[in-house]
Amino acid sequence: MTDTNKTATLSFDDKTIELPILSPSVGPDVLDIRKLYAQGHVFTYDPGFTSTAACDSTITYIDGDEGILLHRGYPIDELAAQSHYLEVCYLLLYGELPTAAELEKFETTITRHTMIHEQMHNFFRGFRRDAHPMATMVGVVGAMSAFYHDSTDISDPRQREIASHRLIAKMPTIAAMAYKYSIGQPFVYPRNDLSYAANFLHMCFSVPAEEYHVDPILARAMDRIFTLHADHEQNASTSTVRLASSSGANPFACIAAGIACLWGPAHGGANQACLEMLKEIGTPDRIPEFIARAKDKNDPFRLMGFGHRVYKNRDPRATVMKQSADEVLELLGVENNPLLQVAKELEHTALNDPYFIDKKLFPNVDFYSGIILEAMGFPTSMFTPIFAMSRTVGWISQWKEQLGDPQMKIGRPRQLYLGENARSYTDVEDRG
């Protein structure tokens, strides 16, 4: 962020205020309104904060019009195709790609922190068997602060580092345990000889009664899902983590707040909504009917998993995710899965229909990730927990960055008050 020495002039009533203009390294300029209330006694009104920069950051940059997503300057499609999740975690946390020695040390640290405190198993057993895995994750992650007292002092850089590693390492274990608990199977402990993604699949799908081998194609597809969801700038859940952090809350509480926000269907539940749409369509022969409904402005039906509220050109994550989806479906087949048959046919139809091409309603990352997770055998209730464990490194990176920002202060959004003016209390017998 640099001061351009340029200003914008705001005039209203009998006041004229000069607002500094700040320039980012890339992207649109920003009006600095921090002194607007002090100088003009007015607030800005921006529901959803869609035109407001609430922080400065060096982690992720998005240009939705051009279909660009950069992590520390590296395009996401390059990272997803050539890198892997833990290397991207290191990049987000520390700002640069690691050397071979740094990567080996980081991977070893994460791998050896994957087990959770044995007493935490009791938390899972306190939930009903039919509890949504996200409800379980919110509770268990928040409860981590009751077990790991040596990493809750946010003023200590070493404790912040330990908390970061613990959360990245233990989140797959917690998500897998939430899944196992929901289906009535015994918990599976992590294995240090497996990669991050392979270990997660092992904890989700292996059982004590037989040996389980993780297919490398599935592990690679899982790793790409993690990578493509690692961070996405100042979205709702990331902003929630930052807002919770601004109060001085411990890191586990902040991440639990992010998980709770992500649970919303307008945020982390998009791929689940996509799969539910495919179930509604049912069979490939009904696709023309639903395509016609999607084109009808008077019909409330909308195609889920197509287009994106941020990306107006293309979703740069979708190209790599499509490759993974094709590999997974080739490995597992779609012949006996009507849902996947509908997905493949719907994708083909949308990519070749002039209406969808003109409207730029391309299949997005949620469409392909939902297909992959369904093919792997995950229920839709696990889609958002997987999103949460993927996004943990982004939340942690943003949390660490904020704590190191000398301009940080507790979040306190303003409001446009439209309620009653001051009025006097009346006794109950005097009220009409």
* Residues with active-site annotation: 308, 366
Written as one letter, the residue type at 244 is: A
CB atoms within 10 A of CB 6: 11
CB atoms within 10 A of CB 190: 21
Residue 429: what are its φ and ψ, rounded to 5°? -70, -15
CB atoms within 10 A of CB 349: 15
Give the pairing of strands 30-31 and 68-71: unpaired
Q: What gap in Å lies between CA 220 and CA 225, rounded to an integer?
A: 9
CB atoms within 10 A of CB 239: 18
Q: What gap in Å lies between CA 257 and CA 77, rounded to an integer?
A: 29
Q: What gap in Å lies between CA 245 and CA 264, rounded to an integer?
A: 20
- Give the position of tokens 């009917």: 289
Containing 15, the helix (H) or strand (E) segment is strand 15-23
CB atoms within 10 A of CB 338: 15
SS3 243: helix
Cα Rg for the chain, rounded, in angstroms?
24
Burial 119-146 (b: 16+ CB within 10 A, else e): ebeebbeebeeebbbbbbbbbbbbbbbe
The arrangement of strands across the sheet holding 74-75 comes to 60-63, 68-71, 74-75
Q: What gap in Å lies between CA 166 and CA 169, rounded to an integer?
A: 5
Is residue 359 within 8 Å of residue 307, measured between CB atoms? Answer: yes
Tokens of 278: 């495919």
